[in-house]
Amino acid sequence: MEINWAELKAAAVQAMKHAYAPYSHFPVGAAALVDDGRIVSGCNVENASYGVGLCAECGLVSNLSMTGGGKLIAFYCVDGAENILMPCGRCRQLLFEHSQTGMLLQTTSGIKTIEEVLPDAFGPRDLADGFGSEQRG
């Protein structure tokens, strides 16, 4: 499927404008293209109990499930200045779970795959019941 990076960035910027980041003052927006062509997005939502704040990617994967599921094929994340932002370690794991093999990300050092930014990942296939073999393709 054709990846329109400009459209993905615009969706990430729009999402970033909804961020609730009164503690860090660091708004984040994330957007991803799903294998059926739709775009899902999310923003960070912080909390007075700082450690339980939600990254933008949390909202994105929730949006993915709520709007029909599917596999992510391309991802773009921005900070408040609309610059590319790398997903944090935990969020790389979140994205991995819902990514199609070879999902592309815009990174601060060019386009990379999810496998490059989360090498030797633990994932659904590593669980004893093999549940993930049909979950991640």
The minimum distance between CB 51 and ligand THU, in angstroms, equals: 11
| Gap between the Cα atoms of 99 and 101, Å rounded | 6
Minimum CB distance to ligand THU smaller for 42 or for 70: 42
Minimum CB distance to ligand THU smaller for 70 or for 87: 87
| Gap between the Cα atoms of 125 and 59, Å rounded | 24
**Residue owning tokens 């386009």:** 111
Q: How far is CA 13 from CA 61, 84, 104, 134, in A?
A: 17, 10, 18, 33
Residues labelled catalytic:
57
Which parts of this chain interact with ligand THU (CB under 6 A)?
21, 24, 26, 28, 44, 46, 53, 55-57, 87-88, 91
Q: Where are the alpha helices (DSSP H) in 1-137?
A: 5-16, 56-66, 89-98, 114-117
Minimum CB distance to ligand THU smaller for 55 or for 133: 55
